[in-house]
C-alpha cells in the first residue's frame, strides 16, 4: 500500500507515549512491499494468526547460520561456544522482555507445545504416581473428583490438552462462561474454582473475541485454592507490556512468530520452584543429568524440558524481534493498537448488517476483531477481501466452542500490528461493503 496518510498515533499519542511511525516501520518489512491477487498491494490484517518479520529478524537468523552455527551445550570448539552463547543470550533477552529471569524460561517449538508440556506434567505425574508415588510432586498427581478450570474462550491449544488430561486421570473439566458482550462471566468464579480445583488455565487475550481478561483476579482465586495457575499469553505478550511475574500465574506460555519472530519457537515461563517440580515432557538427550541402563536423573529447569537439538536460530531471531519491539516501546505499541482498534470498531459498527463478536467497547480489548456479515458466510467475505489484497482470517480461529457460544459457525477476523494504520482498516471495510453489494444483502 502507499503510505500517503499520517499514522493515526502521530497527532494523538497520549502524554508520555511516543507515536509509532508506521511508514518507517513498514520499510523494515520486505513482505509488505509485495503485491497479491491481480497486483493489489498487500494489506495484512492477520497478525493474530502470525505476524510478519522485519529485516532485522531475518538478518539475525541468517547471520547465526552464516557465522556461528553449531550444536549448543556440547563440543569443545569455538563455534559451539559461540552458538551456546547466542542461544543463552537469546534466552536472557526474551526473559528480560517479560520481566523474568533466564533460568525460568523454557524454549519449545511453539506455544501449543508449551501448553502440552504443562498438561503432560499432570498426566505423566499421575501415571508415575501409581507406581512411584514418592518420585512425584503431589501437585502433579490428579484423581477423580479433582477439577481443571479453563474458559469458554480458549484456543483449542488450551482446551484439547486439558480434555486429554481429564480423560487420562478422571479429573473433571470445568469452564468459566461468557457474557453476551464477550467477557468472562465472573459471577460464579468462586463456585467454578473451588477446593477441588487443581489447575486453572486461562487465556490472557482471546484470539477470537479480542477480550483482555482480568488474569490477576482469576490467578488470585487459583492461588487461594492451591491450584496451579497457567496463562496463555500468545495474544497479549506481542501487543502490550506484560510482566509474567506480576500476573500471579505459575506458568505462562506464548510463541515467537506472533511477535515478529520466526516460526518454530515457543516459550514457557514458570516460577522456578514449579518448573523444578514438574515431571518432564519430551525425554532424551540434553535434558538429563545422569543416565544408566535402567534409570536416569534429569537436569534442572529449563534444560529438563529441552530434549534434543534446540531451536537455536529461532531463539536468536526471536531475541532480535524483542529488541525491535523494545526499541519501539511496548507501551507505544499498545497505544498504537488501541487507537487502531477504536477506529476499526467504529467503522464496523457503522456498517449495516455487520455484527461484532466480542466486546464492542474499546476497553480491556486487543486488536483482534471478529465479525459476521448478515447473509454472507465468513469464507465468502474473506474471499472478497483477498481479491482486494486484504489478508484476514476466516473460520472458527481454533476456538470452535467460542463460536458456538455466540451461535455463529465462523467469523471474519481482522487483526492489526505495528505496521498497520487506519488506511488498512478502510480498505477492509470497503471490501466488506463490496461483498455486501455483490451478494445483494
| Residues engaged in binding another protein (CB under 8 A) | 37-38, 376-380, 383-384, 386-387, 394-396, 400, 403, 409-410, 438-439
Sign of CA dihedral 74, 79, 82, 86: negative
Residue among 339 and 376 whose Cβ is closer to another protein: 376
Contact 260, 321 (CB under 8 A): yes
CB of 400 to another protein, least distance (A): 7
CB of 152 to another protein, least distance (A): 17
**Measured between alpha carbons, how far is 104 from 230 in angstroms, rounded to an integer?**
14
Q: CB count, 10 Å around CB of 50?
A: 16
Residue among 248 and 395 whose Cβ is closer to another protein: 395
Contact 256, 266 (CB under 8 A): yes
Residue among 242 and 435 whose Cβ is closer to another protein: 435
CB of 426 to another protein, least distance (A): 19
Residue among 223 and 383 whose Cβ is closer to another protein: 383
In Å, how far from its chain's centre is CA 332?
Answer: 19
**Measured between alpha carbons, how far is 3 from 400 in angstroms, rounded to an integer?**
37
C-alpha cell at 114: 508449551
**Measured between alpha carbons, how far is 192 from 11 in angstroms, rounded to an integer?**
46
CB of 49 to another protein, least distance (A): 12
**Measured between alpha carbons, how far is 350 from 118 in angstroms, rounded to an integer?**
43
Query: Could you tell me which of 345, 278, 292 has the C-alpha nearest to residue 137?
Result: 278
**Cis peptide bond prior to 340, omega within 30° of 0:** no
Residue among 257 and 397 whose Cβ is closer to another protein: 397
Task: Classify residue 133 by its DSSP letter.
Answer: G
Contact 153, 181 (CB under 8 A): no
**Measured between alpha carbons, how far is 32 from 46 in angstroms, rounded to an integer?**
12
The residues that are catalytic are 398
CB of 404 to another protein, least distance (A): 9
Tracing cell 570448539 back to the chain, one arrives at 77
CB of 44 to another protein, least distance (A): 17
Residue among 270 and 389 whose Cβ is closer to another protein: 389
Amino acid at each position: 500500500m502507499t503510505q500517503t496518510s499520517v499514522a493515526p498515533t502521530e497527532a494523538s499519542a497520549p502524554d508520555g507515549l511516543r507515536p509509532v511511525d508506521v511508514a518507517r516501520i513498514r520499510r523494515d518489512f520486505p513482505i509488505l512491499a509485495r503485491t497479491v491477487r491481480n497486483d493489489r498491494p498487500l494489506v495484512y490484517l492477520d497478525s493474530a494468526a502470525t505476524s510478519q518479520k522485519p529485516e532485522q529478524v531475518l538478518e539475525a537468523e541468517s547471520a547465526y547460520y552464516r557465522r556461528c552455527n553449531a550444536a549448543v551445550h556440547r563440543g569443545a570448539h569455538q563455534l559451539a561456544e559461540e552458538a551456546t552463547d547466542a542461544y543463552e543470550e537469546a534466552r536472557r533477552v526474551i526473559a528480560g522482555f517479560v520481566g523474568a529471569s533466564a533460568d525460568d524460561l523454557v524454549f519449545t517449538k511453539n506455544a501449543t507445545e508449551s501448553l502440552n508440556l504443562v498438561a503432560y506434567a499432570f498426566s505423566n505425574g499421575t501415571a508415575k504416581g501409581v507406581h512411584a508415588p514418592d518420585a512425584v510432586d503431589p501437585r502433579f498427581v490428579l484423581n477423580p473428583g479433582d477439577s481443571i478450570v479453563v474458559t469458554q474462550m480458549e484456543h483449542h491449544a488450551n482446551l484439547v490438552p486439558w480434555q486429554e488430561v481429564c480423560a487420562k486421570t478422571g479429573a473433571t473439566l470445568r469452564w468459566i462462561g461468557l457474557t453476551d458482550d464477550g467477557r468472562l462471566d465472573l459471577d460464579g468464579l468462586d463456585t467454578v474454582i473451588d477446593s477441588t480445583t487443581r489447575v486453572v488455565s486461562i487465556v490472557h487475550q482471546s484470539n477470537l473475541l479480542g477480550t483482555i481478561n482480568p488474569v490477576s483476579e482469576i490467578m488470585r482465586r487459583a492461588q487461594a485454592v492451591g491450584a496451579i495457575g497457567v496463562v496463555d499469553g500468545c495474544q497479549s505478550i506481542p501487543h502490550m507490556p506484560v510482566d509474567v511475574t506480576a500476573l500471579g500465574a505459575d506458568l505462562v506460555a506464548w510463541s515467537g512468530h506472533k511477535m515478529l519472530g520466526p516460526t518454530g519457537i515457543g516459550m514457557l515461563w514458570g516460577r522456578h520452584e514449579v518448573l523444578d517440580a514438574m515431571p518432564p515432557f519430551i525425554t532424551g538427550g540434553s535434558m538429563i543429568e545422569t543416565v544408566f541402563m535402567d534409570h536416569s536423573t534429569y537436569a534442572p529447569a529449563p534444560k529438563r524440558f529441552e530434549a534434543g537439538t534446540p531451536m537455536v536460530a529461532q531463539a536468536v531471531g526471536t531475541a532480535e524481534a524483542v529488541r525491535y519491539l523494545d526499541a519501539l516501546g511496548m507501551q507505544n505499541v499498545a497505544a498504537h493498537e488501541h487507537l487502531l482498534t477504536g477506529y476499526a470498531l467504529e467503522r464496523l459498527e457503522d456498517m449495516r448488517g455487520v455484527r461484532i463478536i466480542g466486546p464492542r467497547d474499546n476497553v480491556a480489548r486487543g486488536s483482534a476483531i471478529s465479525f459476521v456479515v448478515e447473509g454472507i458466510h465468513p469464507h465468502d467475505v474473506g474471499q472478497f477481501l483477498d481479491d482486494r489484497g486484504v489478508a484476514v482470517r476466516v473460520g472458527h480461529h481454533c476456538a470452535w466452542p467460542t463460536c458456538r457460544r455466540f451461535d455463529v459457525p465462523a467469523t471474519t477476523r481482522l487483526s492489526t500490528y505495528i505496521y498497520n494504520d487506519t488506511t488498512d482498516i478502510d480498505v477492509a471495510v470497503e471490501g466488506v461493503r463490496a461483498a455486501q453489494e455483490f451478494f445483494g444483502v
